[in-house]
A and B are shown apart, each in its own frame.
Chain A
Amino acid sequence: MNMETIISIKPLLAVLVSLLVVPILVLSGKRPNVREACTFLAAGIKFLIVLSMVPVILNGTQIVYTIAEVIPGVAIKLRVDSFGMLFALVSSSLWIVTSAYSIGYMRKLKEHSQTRYFCFFALALSATIGVAFSANLLTLYLFYEMLSFATYPLVTHHQDHEARSSGRKYLLYIVGTSIGFVLPAMLISYSLAGTLDFSSQGFLAGTGSKPLIGLLCFMFLFGFAKAAIMPFHSWLPAAMVAPTPVSALLHAVAVVKVGVFCVARVLTGVFGTDLLFSLNLNVPIIYIASFTIMAGSLIALSQDNLKRLLAFSTIAQLSYIVLGIGLLSPKGMTGGMLHIAMHAFGKITLFFCAGAIFVATGKKNISEMIGIGRRMPVTMAAFFIGSLSIIGMPPCGGFISKWYLVLGTLEAHQLPILFVLLTSSLLNAAYFMPFVYKAFFCRPEDAMFESRVQEAPAFCVVPLVITALISVILLFYPQPFLRLAKMMVQSITGV
């Protein structure tokens, strides 16, 4: 891959914007309106900076910026390529929407410590964009850890006993695996290859023995526990104690997608598809992912708490992405990368809806929501669209990524996996559709709500309508995400 590169400070600015706004947020803590205006301003600037780099990236050029040369052969360095851009676009655009939603949610529920909440949210977004734009494993690790610690106060926002035990689980899984697996794997890779820079065909080929490379592969795969691959998934349902906007942006988009992004980056940029293929490592990867997909969907079936259901659904959907990369076929990888975007818009809509229902009615369990469609028709319509997208049915964007994944299984001659994908879609329908059905169609005497329409505050409803609409639009106009994913796949496979 001999791509043109230009040096520009833009990627650093995109990372720093939300970091630099933190002191301003702290100072304006006494005046919530000013504080939230600053959040919007930072989110807007961040999105515009990311957006301004899109044309350059679509031209096939990369943007690089070196922050500091810390270790011989390894710098703290940012590089924007099409895959990173795809992820950065998703997360920076959704930050704006989530900020609006946060205002509606936090103020309506009169949550405490809102300044802290907005500060750490901004920090988490810095780290997310940092991961997206990392040029090497060290930089990736740096921002990955920063994200782990920045999200801890968000997950444990309520500061009660439940938050504490969930926080422990969160740290145990996420930090435990990153220090226990990723750190040694990274250092061993450095000792083997003398570099950590991602390249289109990886840098580990021809450096270590087969068993060692295999071991490293699994250390990375499970080490990035934010990807919630089983058996390192149970932090995610636990993290649902967080306020809903946190679950929405972080545990449906930023944090978990950082996990799968890291896995995808490492599989393609550190190992390289040829090496994985020649060592047959793709087979265990896709079977581990398939297991997570099936198990996650099955567990979701039995959940009554709406947010926990969504969490298990997320666990399953994340493994679609890992599966797509693991297929190592062009269509499969395109589908996997595209699913980062498609799933993000669909799942964030669902979380927003769950939060809106909680704000408006105080209900968390599905069994208490029969007939909710009459009370909150807009929210439930959006929920219906979001769930269609997750199931992978038209008219929603989720259809495209699943389509590519299905084609990918055929291309890679993995027919059992095709069966997994189709079964999983059925399961998705099985856990979403009864809820949606009962929300709208139930006998009047079963309905738990009066038929008077009473939605959550506008700050909650408008964002979820927007993300639901985008989910639909993405089917008809999947650019630039599809183009970015295809460009990345092309640079990896040459097809």
Chain B
Amino acid sequence: MSEQYPALLVVVPLLSALVVSIAGWINKRLCFPIAVAALGVAAWSAVGLLLRVLDEGVIVYKLGGWSPPMGIAYYIDYLNGLVLPVVSIVALLNLIANKKGIEQQFPDKIGPFYTLYLLMVTGLLGIVVTGDAFNLYVLLEIAALTGYGLLAMGEERAPLATLNYLYMGTIGACFYLLGVGYLYIVTGSLNMVDIARLLPPLYQSKAVMAAFIICMVGVWLKMAFFPLHAWLPNAYTYANSAASSLIAPLVTKVMIYVMIRLMLTVFTPEFAFTTLAVSNAIVWLAVIAIVMGAVLALAERNLKKMLTYIVVAEVGYMVGGAWLGNRDGMTGAILHIVNDALMTLCVFMVVGNIVYKVKGYAFEDLQGLFRKMPFTMGALVIGAMSIIGVPPTCGFFSKWYLIVGAISAGHYGFMAALIFSSLVSVVLFFRVFEICFYEPFADHHGHDNHPGGMDEAPVSMVVPLLIVAVILIVVGLYTGDIVNHVIQFAIPETMV
């Protein structure tokens, strides 16, 4: 059984997506348990895979028994071994938390919604698990197309915002495909390990350099790396809560994973940092991304949209960290994939709960929320602490590695940007907390200026949220183990 984990990971959500769409016609209530079971199996397999990788090292799985380079192979090493559980657990928790929200919003589209949801997760898991550059493109499109569908199911402006995303996303995917095409021309292979073996003698070739850069630009478009971010805020803001709290934590992070996979495995760190000699410029781009993300977030008077700009800034953290060109920076970037996925999930789930109860997420809608929804707001506080970077929440530790990496690379601009972003996050979140805490102001000084009791979201939404909030702290305390036992082996030894 455990030999089949790599296949189960992708096949179970894929097939159950079909089952769910059929079940939706028979009885809508069947959809949710099937979806939970499918993602449960996926999460179980992902954790099992990580444990096997920790035990045995890299796992190669040949789909259908066909050997590469003819067949498609799945490679699970320390890097995707770490990302897979994150993706599957985030998807599972979010699914459970949003059951009520989906019923409330789309009472007659439950079947299609869960189908799209499962297909989306299939795509994301596939991108992470695959060892084939073209297969990755296919899964990228699966994730993207289902993502457009999910995001478009939202407010009035959602379809238009998603159309914008569709244009940009398609261009991004095309860029990636073009890059892979170049690689195929020069190496004659689509298998990542194979390409990696064939490439080194060709590193001076203009075609290879072009392939790498074109792939990078495509991936940056998909991850909304400033200034290619313009599609993200509207698309995520106007979507329904279940979709945005699935897609915001995962899609950008999976694309960061793809970028790091290309840099570390398909190409080599030496090629990326030395032969190309553009890393300094890219880190400065990341600095701009962080600063602009923070500033644009400040300009928003709307909780959800503010959070989407924080996502843009966080992408800058990871791109910058990865391109610092040293071990600490890369460790920070990989660690931040995990941490940022979790903390983004946390804050977007909070938005989901607020939308469920208050039917809005503009700043004016948030008045008195500490009294009304103390558990949800408690989770928001922990999520905010993590985004600000307060120990012992996990966000602090990835920021630690990123800054240490910046110091040892001598890149003080990146360090300053990270500190700046922390300070801005304090302002961003305390501005929200102030509204939730003080307003509406009482007319006279003093007592009981917040009438009205608790009006918390349902237990099925609050409990997963609190679990995520606790995970933020637990992951923070286990940072040492994650780095020493997993991330350390995900980065090639040649990188210091």
The interface stretch among B17-25, B315-323, B389-397, B459-467 is: B389-397
A177 to chain B, nearest CB (A): 10
**Interface flag for A191 (CB, 8 Å):** yes
Chain B interface residue count, CB cutoff 8 Å, equals 37
Interface residue SS majority, chain A: helix
Which stretch of B86-94, B178-186, B418-426 is in the interface?
A: B418-426
A149 close to B (CB within 8 Å): yes
Q: Does A210 contact B (CB under 8 A)?
A: no
Which residues in A have their C-beta under 8 angstroms from that of B446? Answer: 112, 158, 160
Nearest Cβ on chain A to B363's Cβ, whole angstroms: 15
What's the least CB distance linking B487 to chain A, in Å? Answer: 12
Task: Tell me if B403 and A167 are in contact (CB < 8 A).
Answer: no
Give the Cβ gap from A168 to chain B, nearest Cβ, in Å: 8
Provide the bound-state CA to CA distance between A378 and B214, in Å: 81
Tell whether, in the assembled complex, residue A175 and residue B426 are in contact, meaning their CB atoms are under 8 Å apart: yes
Q: Which residues on the B side are within 8 Å of A153 (C-beta)?
A: 437
Contacts of A495 in B (CB 8 A): none
Task: Say yes or no: A149-B385 contact (C-beta < 8 A), given A158-B446, A175-B426, A187-B403.
Answer: yes
B441 and A110 within 8 A (CB): no
Chain A's closest residue to B479 (CB) is: A70
A194 to chain B, nearest CB (A): 10
A21 at the interface (CB under 8 A from B): no
A72 contact set on B, CB distance < 8 A: 480, 483-484
One of B55-63, B147-155, B216-224, B447-455 at the interface: B447-455
Chain B contact residues: helix, strand, loop or mixed: helix
User: Does B489 lie at the interface of the complex (its beta carbon under 8 Å from any beta carbon of A)?
Assistant: no
Partner of A176, one of B423, B438, B483: B423
What mask results when residues 454 to 477 of chain B are scored 1 for a CB within 8 Å of chain A, else 0?
000000000000000000000011
Nearest CB of B to A167, in Å = 7
Cα of A180 to Cα of B427 in the assembled complex, Å: 13
Query: Which residues in B have their C-beta under 8 angstroms from that of A364?
Result: none
Decide yes or no: A70 and B419 within 8 Å by CB, A161-B441, A187-B407 being known contacts: no
With both beta carbons as reference points, the residue of chain A lying nearest to B444 in the complex is identified as A160
The reply to whether B447 and A142 contact each other, CB–CB distance below 8 Å, is no
Distance between A240 CB and nearest chain B CB, rounded to angstroms: 16
Q: B404 and A159: CB pair below 8 A?
A: no
Decide if B447 touches A159 in the complex (CB within 8 Å): no
Q: Which of A69, A145, A187 has the most CB of B within 10 A?
A: A187
Tell me, yes or no, whether A164 is within 8 Å of chain B by CB.
yes
Partner among A141, A161, A176, A180 whose Cβ is within 8 Å of the Cβ of B391:
A141
| Cα-based distance from A149 to B437 in the complex (angstroms) | 14
Q: How far is the CA of A479 from the CA of B24 in the complex (A)?
A: 76
Question: Chain B residues near A158 (CB, 8 Å)?
Answer: 445-446
A171 with B426: CB separation less than 8 A: yes
Q: With A161-B441, A183-B419, A184-B415 given, is the CB distance from A167 to B434 under 8 Å? A: yes
CA gap between A4 and B175 in the complex, in Å: 64
B415 x A149 contact (CB < 8 A) = no
Contacts of A179 in B (CB 8 A): 388-389, 419, 422-423, 426
Are B478 and A68 in contact, with the CB atoms below 8 A? yes
Contact partner, A160, options B390, B400, B441, B476, Cβ 8 Å: B441
Q: Does chain A have a CB within 8 A of B442? A: yes
Could you say which of A110, A141, A142, A180 contacts B419, with CB atoms under 8 Å apart?
A: A180
Known: A68-B477, A180-B419, A190-B404. Is A111-B391 also a contact (CB below 8 A)?
Answer: no
Instruction: Report A60-88 CB contacts with B as 1/0, cut-off 8 Å.
Output: 00000001111110011000000000000
Contact B407 A159 (CB under 8 A): no
B135 at the interface (CB under 8 A from A): no
**Bound CA–CA A180/B416 (angstroms):** 9
When distances are taken between beta carbons in the complex, the residues of chain A under 8 Å from B385 are 149
Question: Is A188 engaged at the interface, CB distance under 8 Å to the other chain?
Answer: yes
Contact: B391 with A187, CB < 8 Å? no
**B415 near A76: Cβ-Cβ < 8 Å:** no
What is the number of residues of chain A that contact chain B, defined by CB distance less than 8 Å?
Answer: 38
Any chain B CB within 8 A of the CB of A258? no
Partner among B400, B437, B448 whose Cβ is within 8 Å of the Cβ of A112 = B448
Give 1 or 0 for each of A128-172: 1 = CB within 8 Å of chain B CB: 000000000010011001100100010010111101100110010
Report how far A159 CA is from B367 CA in the complex, Å.
13
| Distance of A71 Cα from B397 Cα, bound (Å) | 8
Let me know if A69 and B480 touch, CB within 8 A: yes
Q: How far is B418's CA from A183's CA once the two chains are assembled, in angstroms?
A: 11
Question: Which residue on chain B has the smallest CB distance to residue A139?
Answer: B391
User: Is residue B66 contacting chain A, with contact meaning CB distance below 8 A?
Assistant: no
B408 within 8 A of A: yes
Indicate the member of A70, A72, A145 with the most B CB atoms within 10 Å: A70
- Please, which residues of chain B bring their CB within 8 A of the CB of A180? 419, 423
Q: How far is the CB of B141 from chain A (nearest CB, A)?
A: 40
A111 touches B403 (CB 8 A): no
Query: A93–B219 Cα gap in the complex (Å)?
Result: 58
Chain A, residue nearest B403 (CB): A187
Contact pattern, B 285-314, Cβ under 8 Å of A = 1, otherwise 0:
000000000000000000000000000000
- Decide: A112 and B447 in contact? CB cutoff 8 A: yes
- Which residue on A lies nearest to B406, using beta carbons? A187
Q: Which residues of A contact B477 (CB under 8 A)?
A: 67-68, 70, 76
Contacts of A111 in B (CB 8 A): 447
Residues of B within 8 Å of A145, CB to CB, are 390-391
A158 to B437 alpha-carbon distance, docked (Å)? 11
Residues of A within 8 A of B419 (CB): 179-180, 183-184
Query: Nearest-CB distance from B105 to chain A (Å)?
Result: 32
B407 contact from A71, A110, A142, A188, Cβ within 8 A: A188
Q: Which A341-363 residues have C-beta < 8 A from chain B? A: none
Tell whether B430 is near chain A: CB-to-CB under 8 Å: yes
Tell me if B438 and A159 are in contact (CB < 8 A).
Answer: yes
**Which A residues are CB-close (under 8 A) to B437?**
153, 156, 159
Given A142-B392, A149-B390, A176-B423, check contact A187 B404 (CB 8 Å): yes
Q: How far is the CA of A176 from the CA of B479 in the complex (A)?
A: 25
Q: How far is the CB of B187 from chain A (nearest CB, A)?
A: 38
- Which residue of chain B has the shortest Cβ distance to A184 in the bound complex? B419
Contact B480 A112 (CB under 8 A): no
In the bound complex, CA of A275 to CA of B404 (Å): 24
Would B426 and A76 count as touching, CB distance under 8 A?
Answer: no
Chain B residues, Cβ within 8 Å of A184: 403, 415, 419
Residues 376-416 of B at the A interface (beta carbon under 8 Å): 385, 388-392, 397, 400-401, 403-404, 407-408, 415
What residues of chain B lie closer than 8 Å to A138, measured between beta carbons? Answer: 391
Contact A191 B390 (CB under 8 A): no
CA distance A167 to B434 in the complex (A): 9
Q: Name the CB-closest residue of B to A175.
A: B426
Chain A residues with Cβ under 8 A from B430's Cβ? 168, 171
Query: In the docked arrangement, what's the CA distance between A156 and B439, Å?
Result: 13
Q: A70-B477, A71-B400 are in contact. Are A159 and B450 (CB under 8 A)?
A: yes
A146 to B434, CA, bound (A): 18
A65 to chain B, nearest CB (A): 14
**Chain A residue contacts of B423, Cβ below 8 A:** 176, 179-180
Q: Which of B437, B441, B479 has the most C-beta atoms of chain A within 10 angstroms of its own C-beta? A: B437
User: Smallest CB-CB separation from B416: which chain A residue?
Assistant: A184
Inside 8 A of A110's CB, which chain B residues have their CB?
447
> In the docked arrangement, what's the CA distance between A175 and B429, Å?
13
Interface residues of A in 164-209 (CB under 8 A from B): 164, 167-168, 171, 175-176, 179-180, 183-184, 187-188, 190-191
A selection of 9 A-B contacts at a CB cut-off of 8 Å is: A142-B392, A146-B390, A153-B437, A159-B450, A160-B449, A161-B438, A164-B434, A176-B426, A191-B408
The 3 closest A-B pairs by CB, nearest first: A142-B391, A69-B480, A68-B477
Q: A70-B392, A138-B391 are in contact. List 17 more A-B contacts (CB 8 A).
A: A71-B483, A75-B480, A149-B390, A158-B446, A159-B450, A160-B441, A167-B434, A168-B434, A175-B426, A176-B426, A179-B388, A179-B422, A179-B423, A180-B419, A183-B419, A183-B422, A184-B415
Residues on A facing B (Cβ under 8 Å): 67-72, 75-76, 110-112, 138, 141-142, 145-146, 149, 153, 156, 158-161, 163-164, 167-168, 171, 175-176, 179-180, 183-184, 187-188, 190-191
